[in-house]
A = this chain, B = another copy of it.
Amino acid sequence: MIKGSAGIVTTQIYHHPSPLRLESGETLSSLTLAYETYGKLNREKSNAILVCHALSGDAHVAGFHEGDSRPGWWDAVIGPGKALDTDRYFVICSNVIGGCKGSTGPASTNPATGRPYGAKFPVITIRDMVNAQKILVEYLKISQLYAVVGGSMGGMQVLQWAVDHPDYLKKAVVIAATGYSTPQQIAFNEVGRKAIISDPHWNNGDYYGKALPSHGLALARMVGHITYLSNESMHEKFGRALQGKDRIGFDFSTDFKIESYLHHQGDTFTKRFDANSYLYITKAIDYFDLTRNGSLTTGFAGVKAAFLVISVSSDWLYPPYQSQEIVSALTANEAEVHYCEIRSNYGHDAFLLESGQLNYIVGRFLSHTIVRDVMITDVQTIEEGTTIAVTARRMVSQNLNHLPVLSGGGQLVGIVTSWDIAKAVASNFLWLDEIMSRNVVTTTPDEPIEDAARKMEEHAISALPVIDADQHVIGLITADAISVLVGRGNP
């Protein structure tokens, strides 16, 4: 398997024509979504994976922007041969609303005033972020996502997707996240917000085109950054090493490398992030709480996806026990759940850094696919006893290459392809029964797609009806869709 780059990408913009109703009851009258895609959507639109980003992320999750030397923020796991294999999947990532990387947020122009929203931007929630993503996915004409994947706040969005739109995703990958924000997490966020709001340049959120509240935002980022690292990783990386001096200075200049590192993290952040977005997104995180009546199990009622939940051993911001709570609550709802704790000293940031473990664990989870995961359920069929002319018209009008033939009782008795029609015309046959294949090769919903693919190869056929125990057709899978998912060529 060659692991490569998703290549050169550009951020795309979608202007949604309708307003977005928010959880608060407010309405966002204008909605713009910045997004990127990687790989190709297959004909069945069954191979789309949505990636959700964390607090400071953006739509540029993989590949390179023209002229850039650094790839997107999760390039380590997205690309040909990687866990989110762009030779198989169509990967989508969009900037959250409330953000500052192209999607509508507090720095966007308020249509009501013609000036930036600033603190007039409505408070948004993780649910609102997900609803905006759903608008984008629908715009891309995808009626079901193969998977939704995300770490940290991205993981919260994945859970919200699974709860709010259970039929809209087959698989969910939740990394270093939680089912609800804890008081400690809220406390750190509140310190960051307080730092921004205490900066005189914040000016009640109205600072665009003026001096920015950079001191406050840098402070917020410094606090955040400490929570993303583990005590151990700081030890290994910095220890008590001094920054550009031989002995401690006995003054208030920078003494230690760790101080210099934090200053750098804080300062560079102010050049790429909007302070108001920091306020809004941290508030959305604080509000995140999927418990219902105090129970995460109740909150997860009705989820349908298969879940992979991943925690990080040294993550003290979203500690493993919070992932385990998610697993317990999902299991109590009889969901299919896989759990893995990544062994890492990197702390919370491991979800961005431990590419080896992530590629292995996430890759296996995503590529372990059964027929049910990729089959089309809206199958067009035709009854036996029909004429070839009617059959041909049905095929052409529906743009289909295969039509399962059913008995009057609804059971599968044969299959007919456009090639069969061509043969019928050549032989002057008039009735479907004269040309259809009666020894139909079929598959079942729980068969691994690798096995189904092998059947199609052996019989040189390009589609398999999926039947239940009563020989009723409940779906169809095509070689096109499968060959992509099992990594045997481009769609």
A interface with B by C-beta (< 8 Å) = 23-26, 119, 122-123, 180-184, 186-188, 190-191, 193-195, 197-200, 215-216, 218-219, 222-223, 226, 229, 231, 234-235, 237-240, 248, 250-252, 255-259, 262-263, 266, 279, 283, 286-287, 289, 316, 319
Please, which residue of chain B has its CB at the minimum distance from the CB of A255? Answer: B286
A sample of 15 inter-chain contacts (CB < 8 A) reads: A25-B250, A26-B250, A122-B250, A123-B251, A182-B231, A182-B240, A183-B234, A184-B226, A184-B258, A187-B262, A190-B262, A194-B218, A197-B252, A198-B216, A248-B287
The residue that A215 contacts in the complex, of B25, B198, B251, with Cβ under 8 A, is: B198
Of A24, A198, A235, the most chain B CB neighbours within 10 A belong to A198
Q: Which residues of B contact A229 (CB under 8 A)?
A: 184
Check if B252 sits within 8 Å of A191, measured CB to CB: no
Instruction: Give the distance to chain B from A214, nearest Cβ to Cβ, in Å.
Output: 9
- Which of B119, B181, B191 meets A262, CB within 8 Å? B191
The interface residues of chain A, by DSSP majority, are classed as helix
Establish whether residues A198 and B219, one from each chain, have CB atoms under 8 Å apart when the complex forms. yes
What is the distance, in angstroms, from A277's C-beta to the closest C-beta of chain B? 13
Measured CA separation A266–B191 after assembly (Å)? 10
Residues of B within 8 A of A258 (CB): 183-184, 186-187, 190
Decide if A252 touches B223 in the complex (CB within 8 Å).
no
Complex alpha-carbon distance, A248 and B181, angstroms:
13
Please state if A183 and B222 are interface contacts (CB–CB under 8 Å). no
Q: Which residues on B sit within 8 Å (CB–CB) of A289?
A: 240
Chain B residues contacting A235 (CB-CB under 8 Å) are 182-183
Q: Which chain B residues border A24 with CB–CB below 8 Å? A: 250
Please name 4 further chain A to chain B contacts, defined as beta carbons within 8 Å, in addition to the given A194-B266, A252-B283, sorted by A numbering: A186-B259, A190-B262, A240-B289, A255-B286
Please determine whether B287 and A252 come into contact, CB atoms closer than 8 angstroms. Answer: no
User: Nearest CB to that of A236 among chain B residues?
Assistant: B183
Is A226 a contact of B187 with CB atoms below 8 Å? Answer: yes
A433 to B239, CA, bound (A): 69
CB of A183 within 8 A of CB of B216, answer: no
* A200 with B198: CB separation less than 8 A: no
Chain B, Cβ-Cβ closest to A23? B250
* B residues in contact with A226, CB < 8 Å: 184, 187-188, 191
Compute how far the CA of A25 lies from the CA of B198 in the bound complex, rounded to whole angstroms. Answer: 37
Most buried by B among A199, A226, A237, A250: A250
A226 and chain B: residue at smallest CB distance = B187
A219 touches B234 (CB 8 A): no
Which 4 residue pairs spanning A and B have beta carbons closest together?
A24-B250, A183-B258, A183-B234, A198-B215
**A252 vs B26: C-alpha distance in the bound complex, in angstroms?**
15
Cα-based distance from A465 to B183 in the complex (angstroms): 61
Check if A223 sits within 8 Å of B186, measured CB to CB: no
**Knowing A183-B239, A250-B26, A286-B255 touch, does A191 contact B223 (C-beta < 8 A)?**
yes
Given contacts A188-B226, A256-B286, contact A183 B251 (CB under 8 A): no
Inter-subunit contact A252/B119 (CB<8 Å): yes
Cα–Cα, bound, A237→B187 (Å)? 13
